[in-house]
Amino acid sequence: MSGTNPSAAGGIVVLGAGFGALSTVRVLRKQGCMAPITVVAPRAELHYLPGTIWIPGGLRTREDLVVPLGKFFQRMNVRHVAASVTGLSDDGRVVRTTAGDVPNDVLVIASGGRFIKKLPGIEHAITPCEGIDAAERIRDRLRAMQGGTIAVGFGANPKEPSAVRGGPMFEFLFGIDEQLRREGRRERFKLVFFNPSEQPGARLGPKAVAHLLATMRRRGIETRLGHKMVRFDADQVVTEGGAFAADLILFMPGLTGPAWLDQSTLPRSPGGLIAADAHCRVAGLERVYVVGDSGSFPGPDWMPKQAHMADLQAEAAAANLIADLAGRQGTQGFKVELVCIIDAIDHGTLVFRNERRQLVLPPSRVMHWAKRAFERRYLAMYR
């Protein structure tokens, strides 16, 4: 259902319409929470960003990956306020939005992070995980290119090592390589992977890094590693170790908190994310929670910024929120694990990591189809 009077809202307010936000809603209702829920997001849509890796190769279109949420909100008895957040007041009890103030009794922040775009010349690069538009730009650029150099890389938040999303960049890299081979055009292109670390993707674990670098060597992908980036030009990438030509640059910067945090009193980590405890509570505030990319959580330095982690945090936040509403102290934490299938159009490599073990399975078609099956099952919950 859709609301037109934001000031009438109360109960539980969830900011965002991504993985963490929608999982919070699902878990709350599944656990029998009957309190009013309001979702504040610009659109009543879920954009399934993991599927954007398949847009350049034509395996997915915008229509495949945008899921209208009207029916889901109706089933969950959720009120939607179509607005962007501009700030908070009263220690989180009032959300400032472009459609007016939205009061709450409990607040869950799941509005995602923001890419750090301070590198000079970053306007010359495409940031794939910014959304479907970005993936379509990559698709269109590839179709128009007759040859040249494609540079793919990612950076980090120097003050928040875990605030990085490198996995999709390996998928775009290997996916583009495979696509060009299928089209019979690979020999006209040079692919270069660049990263300021000597061990890119270290959060995936040493086995995964070794596998990724070996795959690049086998596929004839050049690497420029271990040098800090200086700037991007329209036709080159400049690092402290030198410059190299690039006709198309794909680059994923590190993450920080959303811009509206500046209009709030929320505590922040050194990297600019919302400081949270192990139960997803925002430090020092009552009944204010954070899940997903917006938050900085205690845990190992390899804790991922990915949809699966947001879902796990949403489960903990929902359980603790229900306890709070019942007058109890919620103590549920979230498990930390990294699960991803690094896909290359028709085969994928499973990477798993938790605090006890690391696992890397050899590339197989089974993993590619498993990734597609997961997407279908996941989206079915919201259709």
CB 30, CB 303: distance < 8 Å: no
The CATH homologous superfamily to which domain 118-254 belongs is: FAD/NAD(P)-binding domain (3.50.50.60)
Angle at 297 between CA 294 and CA 298, to 5 degrees: 170
* 22 DSSP 8-state letter: H
pLDDT in tens, the chain (383 residues): 444 455 555 799 999 999 999 999 999 999 999 999 999 999 999 999 999 999 999 999 999 999 999 999 999 999 999 999 999 999 999 999 999 999 999 999 999 999 999 999 999 999 998 999 999 999 999 999 999 999 999 999 999 988 888 899 999 999 999 999 999 999 999 999 999 999 999 989 999 999 999 999 999 999 999 999 999 999 999 999 999 999 999 999 999 999 999 999 999 999 999 999 999 999 899 999 999 999 999 999 899 999 999 999 999 999 999 999 999 999 999 999 999 999 999 999 999 999 999 999 999 999 999 999 999 999 999 99
Domain range list for the chain = 6-113+257-325, 118-254
Rounded CA-CA distance 38/12 in Å is 6
Q: What is the CA radius of gyration of the chain?
A: 21
- 223 burial class (0-12, 13-18, 19+ CB within 10 angstroms)? middle
Rounded CA-CA distance 344/360 in Å is 15
With H, G, I as helix, E, B as strand and everything else as coil, classify residue 123. Answer: helix
Q: Which two tokens stand for residue 183?
A: 């089209």
Rounded CA-CA distance 61/77 in Å is 30
What's 6-113+257-325's CATH class?
A: alpha beta
The domains spanning 6-113+257-325 and 118-254 adopt the same CATH topology: yes
What pLDDT shows up at residue 165?
A: 86
Rounded CA-CA distance 365/383 in Å is 27
Rounded CA-CA distance 350/79 in Å is 38
Q: Which two tokens stand for residue 308?
A: 């699966």
What pLDDT shows up at residue 3?
A: 47
Rounded CA-CA distance 203/302 in Å is 4
pTM (two decimals): 0.94
What pLDDT shows up at residue 182?
A: 96
Q: Which residues pair with 157 in a beta bridge?
A: 160
What pLDDT shows up at residue 5?
A: 53
What pLDDT shows up at residue 4?
A: 42
